[in-house]
Structure 1
Amino acid sequence: MPDLLRRLWRIPRWRWSIVLVLLLGGCSAVAIHQLDERFGPASPRERVVSHDSLAGRQWEDEVKPVIETRCVVCHGCYDAPCQLKMSSAAGIDRGMNPAPVYDGTRLLAANLTRMFEDADTTEQWRSMDFSPVLNERFDSPAANLEGSVLFRALSQKRKAPLPVTEDGLLPEDRFDLSLNRSQVCAPVEGYDKFAEDHPDWGMPYALPQVSDEEHRTLVNWLAKGGAMTGPAPLPQTLMPHIEQAERFFNGDSLKQRLMNRYIYEHLFLSHVYFPDIKGADGRPVFFKLVRSSTPPGEPIKRISTRRPYDAPYASYTADERASMPHDEAGRPRVYYRLWQERATILAKNHLPYALDDARFKRWQALFLTPDYPVDDLPDYDLRTASNPFLTFEAIPAESRYRFMLDESQNTIMGFIKGPVCRGQVAVDVINDHFWVGFTDPKMFSHPEVERTLADEGKNLSLPAEQSSNALPISSWVKFESKQTAYLKAKQRLMSQAYLDGDLRLDERVLWDGSGWTEGPGQGRNPNAALTIYRHFDNAAVMKGLVGGVPKTGWIIDYPMLERIHYLLVAGFDVYGNLGHQLVTRLYMDFLRMEGENNLLVLLPAGERQAVHDSWYHDVSPGLVELLFKKPPQFDAPSGIVWTPQELSSPNQARLGLMRRMQERLAPELGHERSLSNVEDEHVRHELQALAAVQGVSASLMPEVTIVALEDGTDDSPRLYSVLRNSAHANITSLFDEEKNRRPEEDTLDVLRGVAGDYPNAFWRLTPDTLTGLAERVAALETEEDYRALQADIGVRRTDPRFWEFSDSVLRTNYADRPVEAGLLDYNRLENR
């Protein structure tokens, strides 16, 4: 026996890997054979039934609400565990795939697996390594249950309810709650082994089990075969609005077609809706603006490409292209259509955008009324198509800028809620809390500006021109050189405008929201200023200057805003390789610094460098030389009249500038997030005191805490959010953010409503438990102190009342924000 052990020990590791694969494969084959012998071979089946059928009504009224509120809160979007997206019937039927979408280490771009785009049938998904979670063998109650991963996972939870330690937490050695945890995506044939290895991992994972009634509902549905409905029938009152919109989006003139390509490439992620029409649930019916090979009036045939500006018919055969409608130049036509959203609305990727008569009139005034020639349409060559300054050069820059400013929150939310909404490499390039203003769009009506943008078009190119595979170092060097050249041209333009008297470095540089509507009685746009909160690897964008005065701010001009969109939304590929993701992150460094420098030039000239340096403490000498050679790109004196106190220190100058932003913009901005609007004086005082907590005590708080304040008057609590603003010496580190943390400088903001799509903690308060809460939080010194507080007022992920509380928050959030609200994501709930 010892000799045998010695021989086994000498077997190379790679051979052990082969042996292990063969053994596991053999076990899987045995399990498949057993299931096939009892219930027949697996084959995808049709599960979609009509809405007015008995099975359809049961799905809509009983099953779907449970799936959404108990499953989709973790299984939605790209970051759904095992790619199991349960936010639609098609996603449930597609099943799961162990390959992660978010992978910052892959050397080559991954194959696309986007719902409703990269496969049309369940059979096609099976060929792309997706395994079912519903039974695909004989249609009998026994087979439908035993052959369903979903049933197995629910039953496993009943057999092994959530284990809880004495202090109310999950045992850390039995659960991995990290976002990048290894995923075990067991198909039904291997589920027994999975349950044996991980008995506590029944579904919902690391959360309480569903109620007995909900369990019966799901089991009954599964036993009957898992019938589901497709998209809800559209209200007849919507049809004229859809027809009007599609007529607008498919005009025949070159000018109209260029305009609609521009609109599509900026709104392809948005959920467009008609505000006057509601669906059966009382909420708007949402659509996606898509490219189709078929014109209005015919069924939509989506044209799906990796990016919205990729050549639409590159993958089509010559015969397919020949059979399509062509324009007068012999090019196959691309039509822009409204495709009804099939999936449940998730807050983390919800970008609502209203379409109405005023919107179409606005676009007419911006794009069609101005007199400019469009002699031909741009092609889809990647180097041109990825660069909006070349593709859309014919459209006046002011028109493009005003289009993006009209809904600047939507524009900026694209890089927060779009493909890069998940992943530290994407959003750790920004500070935790900062204000954003915009340069006045009238500045881009000057011919000199148009000429500079045209001349600098190639220097404004973006990493996506290299497709989804890039070499990070050489790419970064190339784009750094282009950015430097563009900034020099920008500096020359600003210097000449300053000398000519066309540029004044004072508050009037900032757009104040004017020019929002056409004609008499022009209104002001609440998108004139935004606030961004970053929570490690995700973020939130709000209208107005929200929260306390932040350390930093940006002033965004048109070239910067356009590049943000084409860098992080239109041009970013979440399936791209390491180089693509890394170069994207590094390029965003350029844009952040450009926005900061736009703000710095409004400060007193003698304070600019010191304020800049306060944002970049402890940066290594190499990075200083590489990234920060000369931070303020423009050295003319500020036109603001400063008080002696504001000139007393760099910090006072910074605070003075932020106050002037508020004075310039605050009258036009909404204040729905502000505690000043809380009517109950006691509640307002206590919450404002909580917002004043700073330092180490604040650093012990979660990044996003959703507070439900129950006063006993009705079933709907009042919702607030406590946000931790994590201070950093600088944000130049790619992967080791913790080393730059300054917890002694952390602050809190308390806002009305739900502010953050990924809550880390829940609090359940009454007016009594709210009293003195600020003092309790300010007294936090250790992790044990925080856990004691959470045990008292928190609703932990282990709490038996968790789902009841979650439903209450969801109902109230929908009532507060019927258009903007969506399901929250629970993948970041803490175990503290």
Structure 2
Amino acid sequence: MLNSLRRLWHTPRWRWSILVILLLGGCSAVTVHQLDARFGTPEPRDRVVSGDSLAGRHWEDEVKPILETRCVVCHGCYDAPCQLKMSSAAGIDRGINPAPVYDGTRLLAANLTRLFEDADSTAEWRDMNFSPVLNERNDSALANLEGSVLFRSLSQKRKQPLPVTEEGLLPEDRFDLSLNRSQVCAPIERYDAFAEDHPDWGMPYALPQISDEEHRTLVNWLAQGSPMTKVRPVSEALVPRIQQVEAFLNGDSLKQRLMSRYIYEHLFLTHLYFPEAKGANGRPIFFSLVRSSTPPGEPIQRISSRRPYDAPYAAYPGDGRDVMPHDEAGRPRVYYRLWQERSTILAKNHLPYSLSDARLERWQSLFLAPDYTVDDLPGYDLKTASNPFLTFEAIPAESRYRFMLDESQNTIMGFIKGPVCRGQVAVDVINDHFWVSFTDPSLFSLPQVERTLAREGENLSLPAEQSSNALPISSWIKFERKQQAYLQAKQKLMMQAYEDGNLRLDMQLLWDGSGWQGGEGGDHNPNAALTVYRHFDNAAVMKGLVGNVPKTAWVIDYPMLERIHYLLVAGFDVYGNLGHQLTTRLYMDFLRMEGENNLLALLPAGERQAVHDSWYQDVDSGLEKLLFKKPPQFDAPSDIVWTPGELSSPEKARIGLMRRLRERLAPELVHERSLETLEDDAVRRELKALGEVSGLAASLLPEVTIIALEREGSEHPQLFSVLRNSAHANITSLFDEEANRRPERDTLDVLRGVAGDYPNAFWHLTPESLQGLARRVAVLKDEADYRQLMADIGVRRTDPRFWQFSDSVLRANYADRPVEAGLLDYNRLQNR
């Protein structure tokens, strides 16, 4: 026996495991003084090792995958508890900060704490009130464990496993799973007090403990000083492609420089990739487009500003103008570079954008081939820079619009996945399910349209011109007046075009995807039709007109699409104050109503008001009517030939218009989400029947349920999503959405694949257990019925199989969508 223990002690893997046992049995309260006396004073250390070293390979192959699949699923973005972003080595080393990024009540904008941008070293993060989760005292095995918050939180879970009620749930009085819960961000010096006050809160929080093998792996890594690697350099074969893109984006002519600024301000949040290049995991290598003070060929010196259109010299201390390079005319010269992503890809902020062979040719044809002149470059004063209609007036509007339409899914996803990670400011202003189409971009080649856009530039200004500190009421009044003035000018332009015969109110008004020359899908672009599913404070965007016929749809034109981007992506500051966030939300109401009214213009004139009113039922009087009064209506008759039946009621006219929308966009409709493509007839029938459940039974289901259908002999489960479409009388409420809920009208859509980045529940099924599921769901009457359903087919967050099941879903999702997939977010998993 003694010899066996000696052999284990001389095995590094087990040496630290034995040490863990000793520590768990002998940990006592430690104070700052005691820690300093035993292990020295804390000081950030360099943990970076070569990827080719033994420690580097151990990190890449064994440690990092555990942290990703067990930790990053909750700690990956701005909404990570205590700002602990574990999706990169730099984020782990940075540590925790008690200040929440999401704070809708702050009166002044908060200081920026963006990883890779707002500090260059761990020492700088310490000066910004970040505390370490790794040991920063003496580098010894004992100190590396006892001085680590990460180790202590993992060990706490081992000492106090997840408490579970007889129903298989977490006791509600011991866990707070609300998104805005108070966070306790205990540094190592106060960790004992935290553990005593919250013994159940070991990590992973409110989820099962990780396996013994995973625990040993992490403990061994922590004991050895937590060595991590930098991002692996790209292969030599990829270097020429990067050089090609950077050369294109850094031409010297004013025309090229204006083009590159426009492209950057629209793609700064996207994950760019070369389709032919794959990483070690078989998935693409992603890049971000960044501004740098150094040209291609030199190391990137990233320019980090609050917004992408802020003056580049403002990122430097003092005036900054002397630090920035300048051209011969004295203008600041920035360079647009491809910066390799350092963080694990998370589905909730993943915006993939292909840099295919044809992409640069497409940009050349849109921005450089047209005959226009750029006499000078626009400056960076906030009033102008925040308004793309002023900044990029020289670029033809049709070119700008087609650029955004080429990847309209990416464009729309920007305001849902972009700077927010938790998008209630952006998405509680939209319905739970709606379709999106776009006006024909050739309309914006007309001279009178170009002139109107130029003349209305001031009226198209956006709240971000007031930076991140705005006064909500006065700001809203200002922008409401501008919006009304713009809509009147738009209505006048449309009436003149209608009378001149240049505009017909029929389905030909909508872009059908033609004019596409830059993709792999032929001459038509599948981005012409989109579907948005909203789930309270997050949403999903997919190509095609997906699901059952929704209540409403948007028809988006160029000025609306551009403003959506500059309002909610380029101009939105998640660190902004209450006024900025509230004014942004109110302005988005303007845009939603404008998109809806563009659709209404296609209906028979006599049915437009009734359809509009059906979308805005029970709107309160007073302030609500003031804020959401109906915008100017376009009153020319529709040129669509309607059947007598369609003219018999507003609802039939609406359904008829939705049918024509499908017909118009049929060549572009993507069917990958449709259950019709399933080969198994029994599975298809059952899932379609589930999608027909509505009313109270549907309202008892969560917003996003992921089904994993296991088949014997299959490598991965087949994934489906059950989406609850929450019905509302209207979506005008700023603060009490629940008051407008109408659960008796709720519906379900069942789609192929993962169709939500924040699952609320998981179901584990086989073809046999699937049979009869729709009938069972249809008769759900109360919470007790739902909990029994979860007990039978669900994989709850308390389930001992949870992590094994989670891994199978992740692998299947990557197999289904290797480019689009990323880690899911588990912060919204329900306790039901």
Q: TM-score range by the shorter chain?
A: over 0.9
Which residue matches 1:22?
A: none
Separation in 1, partners of 2:200, 2:261 = 51
Say if 1:745 and 1:228 are closer, same or farther in 2 by CA, change over 3 A.
same
What are the Cα deviations for residues 563-590 of structure 1, in whole angstroms up to 9, with x where unaligned? 0000000000000000000000000000
Q: Name 1:41's counterpart in structure 2.
A: 41
Which AA in structure 2 matches 1:75?
A: H
Q: Distance in 1 between matches of 2:531 and 2:634?
A: 25
Pairwise mapping of residues 638-677 of structure 1 onto structure 2 (< 5 A)? 638-677=638-677
- Give the CA deviation at 1:32: 0.9
Change in Cα spacing, 1:320 to 1:633, as seen in structure 2 (3 Å) is: closer
* Pairing of 1:590-605 with structure 2 (within 5 A): 590-605=590-605
Secondary structure class of the residue paired with 1:762: strand
Which residue does the alignment assign to 2:106? Answer: 106
What's the CA shift for 1:620? 1.1
Q: Which amino acid aligns with 1:485?
A: A
| Partner in structure 1 of residue 21 of structure 2 | none
Distance 1:121 1:702, change over 3 A: same
Residue 585 of structure 2 is aligned to residue 585 of structure 1 = yes
Q: Per-residue deviation at 1:625? A: 4.2
Cα separation, 2, equivalents of 1:335 and 1:216: 46
CA distance in 2, matches of 1:55, 1:207: 29
Once the two structures are TM-superposed, the CA of residue 630 in structure 1 deviates from its matched residue by: 4.1
Letter in 2 for 1:552: T
**Match of 2:313, SS?**
coil
Deviation by residue 1:299-336 (Cα, 9 ceiling, x = unmatched)? 00000000000000024358964465321211231000
Name the counterpart of 2:120: 120
Question: For the residues of structure 1 that align with 2:556 and 2:355, how far apart are their CA atoms?
Answer: 26
1:781 alignment partner, SS class: coil
Q: Equivalences for 1:228-627 in 2 at 5 Å?
A: 228-316=228-316, 321-322=321-322, 324-517=324-517, 523-623=523-623, 625-627=625-627
Provide the rounded CA distance (Å) in 2 between the counterparts of 1:307 and 1:547: 36
Distance in 1 separating the partners of 2:796 and 2:426: 29
Alignment match, 2:751? 751
**Structure 1 equivalent of residue 793 of structure 2:** 793
For each residue in 1:613-654, what CA deviation from the matched residue of structure 2 results, as whole angstroms up to 9, or x when unmatched? 000000012256424544462000000001111111110000
Distance 1:793 1:317 in 2: 58
The 1:624/1:41 distance shift into structure 2, 3 A limit, reads closer
Unaligned runs of 5+ in 1: 1-27
Q: Equivalents in 2 of 1:70, 1:831: separation in Å? A: 18
**Alignment partner, residue 5 of structure 1:** none
CA contact (8 A) 2:289 2:336 kept: yes
Secondary structure in 2 matching 1:647: helix
What whole-Å deviation, never above 9, does each CA across 1:370-396 have from its counterpart, x for those lacking one? 000100000000000000000000000
Q: CA deviation at 1:425?
A: 2.9
Q: Which SS does the other structure have where 2:218 is aligned?
A: helix
Q: Is the 8 A contact 1:674 1:751 kept in 2?
A: yes
Which residue of structure 1 aligns with residue 634 of structure 2? 634
The residue type paired with residue 611 of structure 1 is V
- Equivalence for 1:7: none
Match for residue 700 of structure 1?
Answer: 700
Aligned to 1:806: 806
1:608 to 1:324, Cα distance in 2 relative to 1, 3 A = closer
Instruction: Give matches, 1:684-699, under 5 Å.
Output: 684-699=684-699
Distance 1:295 1:229 in 2: 26
- Alignment-derived partner of residue 188 in structure 2: 188
Amino acid at match of 2:751: L
CA 1:370–1:61: 2 relative to 1, 3 Å: same
Counterparts of 1:593 and 1:317, CA distance in 2: 43
Report SS of the residue matched to 1:357: coil
Q: Secondary structure at the match of 1:827?
A: coil
279-288 or 93-102, which deviates more: 279-288
Cα 1:577–1:519 shift into 2, 3 Å? closer
> What are the ranges of 5 or more consecutive residues in structure 2 without an aligned counterpart?
1-27
1:97 maps to which residue? 97
Shift of residue 478, structure 1, vs aligned partner: 0.2
Q: Given the superposition, is the C-alpha separation of residues 520 and 721 from structure 1 closer, same or farther in structure 2, using an over 3 Å criterion?
A: closer
Q: Do the aligned partners of 1:436 and 1:529 also contact (CA within 8 Å) in 2?
A: yes
- State the TM-score, normalizing by the size of structure 2: 0.95
SS of residue matched to 2:531: strand
Deviations 1:178-202 (A, max 9, x none): 0000000000000000000000000
State whether residues 612 and 631 of structure 1, in contact with CA within 8 Å, keep that contact through their aligned partners in structure 2: no
Q: Letter of the 1:662 partner, please give it.
A: R
For 2:679 and 2:315, locate their aligned partners in 1 and report how far apart those are by CA, in whole Å: 59
What residue identity is the alignment partner of 1:569? Answer: V
User: Greater CA deviation, 199-208 or 413-422?
Assistant: 413-422
**1:420 touches 1:568 (CA, 8 Å); kept in 2?**
no
Give yes or no for contact 1:44–1:122 (8 Å, CA) kept in 2: yes
Q: Which whole-Å deviations, capped at 9, do the CAs of 1:154-209 have from their partners, x for residues lacking one? A: 00000000000000000000000000000000000000000000000000000000
Higher mean alpha-carbon deviation, 356-365 vs 123-132, is at 356-365
8 A contact 2:313–2:323 mirrored in 1: no
Q: Name 1:18's counterpart in structure 2.
A: none
Change (3 A) 1:547 1:399: same
Q: Which residue of 1 aligns with 2:829?
A: 829
CA contact (8 A) 1:421 1:537 kept: no
Displacement of 1:753 in angstroms is 0.2
Equivalent-residue separation in structure 2 for 1:420 and 1:330 (angstroms): 36
Q: Give the letter aligned to residue 56 of structure 1.
A: G
In structure 2, relative to structure 1, the CA distance for the partners of 1:83 and 1:624 (3 Å cut) is: closer
Partner Cα separation in structure 2 for residue 326 and residue 371 of structure 1? 27
Distance across 2 between alignment mates of 1:347 and 1:509: 34
1:134·1:149 contact (CA, 8 Å) conserved in 2?
yes
Contact 2:412-2:541 at 8 Å conserved across structures = yes
Taking the aligned partners of 1:521 and 1:569, their CA distance within structure 2 comes to 28
Cα 1:519–1:655 change in 2 (3 A) is closer
- How far does residue 670 in structure 1 lie from its aligned partner after superposition? 1.2
519 and 474 in structure 1: CA distance in 2 versus 1, 3 angstrom threshold: closer
Counterpart residue identity of residue 781, structure 2? E
- 2:218 is matched with which residue? 218
Give, in whole Å, the separation in 2 of the partners of 1:397 and 1:425.
29
Hey, what's the Cα distance between the residues in 1 that align with 2:323 and 2:545?
53
Give the residue type in structure 2 aligned to 1:114. R
1:658-699 deviation digits (Å, cap 9, x = unpaired) = 000000002222110000001100000000000000000000
Shifted more, 143-152 versus 518-527: the winner is 518-527
Q: Name the CA distance, whole Å, in 2 between partners of 1:522 and 1:344.
A: 32
Deviates more, 1:315-324 or 1:804-813: 315-324
2:167 corresponds to: 167
Question: Identity over the aligned pairs, expressed in percent?
Answer: 81
**Aligned partner of 2:690: which letter?**
L
Shift of 1:237: 1.0
In 1, are the aligned partners of 2:624 and 2:732 still within 8 Å (CA)?
no
Letter in 2 for 1:119: A
- Distance in structure 2 (CA, Å) of the matches to 1:425 and 1:716: 37
1:385-423, Cα deviation, whole Å (9 max, x unpaired)? 000000000000000000000000000000000123414
Contact 1:513 1:528 in 2 (8 A): yes
Letter in 1 for 2:201: W
Q: In 2, distance between residues paired with 1:831 and 1:301?
A: 46
Q: Residues of 2 paired with 1:812 and 1:179: CA distance?
A: 28
Q: Deviations over 1:695-734 (max 9, x none)?
A: 0000000000000000112230000000000000000001
Maintained 8 Å contact 1:601/1:632: no
The number of residues matched between the two structures is: 805
Q: Normalised by the size of structure 1, how large is the TM-score?
A: 0.95
